[in-house]
Amino acid sequence: MSERSEKAVALFKEGCACSQAVVAAYSELFGLEAGAAMRVSCGLGAGVGRLREVCGAVSGMAVLAGLKHGAETPDAEAKRATYEAVQRMAGLFRERHGSIVCRELLGLERAENDPRPSARTAAYYKKRPCAELVADAAAIVEKVLL
């Protein structure tokens, strides 16, 4: 595992959302200060606002693809390059885990309606694959974007 992958996992284990851990570990390589990275990616955690939709680690990869390939003005080529990177990374993630959907990755039947984040306890880390998902997303970022 690379130093930045380890940083992403450490950030997650310190209480960051999966999305924040992935984005903050790499953001400065793409010109975004770490604090801004934490704020901009916060709402993507737990499958976007704890809706258990697209995994936050996958959403974090998409944010980084936009930082690398996106443009500050409407630009079809920048969108194409960004979407291509996102699709490649999501495909690699799906190959490894069978899904990019949070609730499916966690084995949940339905989304939760409670916006409160789960308490980060030893039991939480034992039953959730999220640290591994963050590590895999980080490895995919390195393979595709770096």
Give the pLDDT confidence of 96-110 residue by residue, as tens digits.
Answer: 999 999 999 999 988
Domain tally for the chain?
1
- Prediction pTM value: 0.96
Domain that holds residue 68: 3-144
> Is 34 exposed, middle or buried (CB count within 10 Å of its CB: 0-12, 13-18, 19+)?
middle
Residue 125 above 90 pLDDT? Answer: no
Q: Average pLDDT of the chain?
A: 96
User: In sequence order, what are the residues at sequence separation of 6 or more whose Cβ sits closer than 8 angstroms to the Cβ of residue 142?
Assistant: 2, 4, 5
Dihedral sign, Cα of residue 23, residue 13, residue 126, residue 48: negative
